Amino acid sequence: MPHEDPPHDDIRSRVRQVTVRQQRFERHLARRLEVDTAGLAAMDHLIEDGPATPTELAHRLEVSTAAMTLVLNRLESAGHVRRDRHPSDGRKLVVTAVDRSSDRAYDLVQPLIDGIETLVDGMDARQRAAVATFLDGLIRVYDDATD
The pLDDT of residue 141 is: 95
Mean pLDDT on 111-134: 96
Please, what is the average pLDDT of the chain?
A: 92
Of the ranges 7-11, 47-51, 80-84, 108-112, which one carries the lowest mean pLDDT score?
7-11
Give, for 128, the enclosing helix (H) or strand (E): helix 125-146
What's the longest Cα–Cα distance across the chain?
59
| Domain-wise residue ranges, the chain | 12-146
Domain spanning 12-146: CATH 1.10.10.10: yes
Q: With 70 as the cut, is the pLDDT of residue 2 above it?
A: no
The pLDDT of residue 147 is: 82
The pLDDT of residue 9 is: 67
pLDDT in tens, 55-89: 999 999 999 999 999 999 999 999 999 999 988 88
Distance CA 62, CA 38 (A): 11
The pLDDT of residue 4 is: 61
CA atoms within 13 A on the CB side of 21: 11
Q: With 60 as the cut, is the pLDDT of residue 33 above it?
A: yes
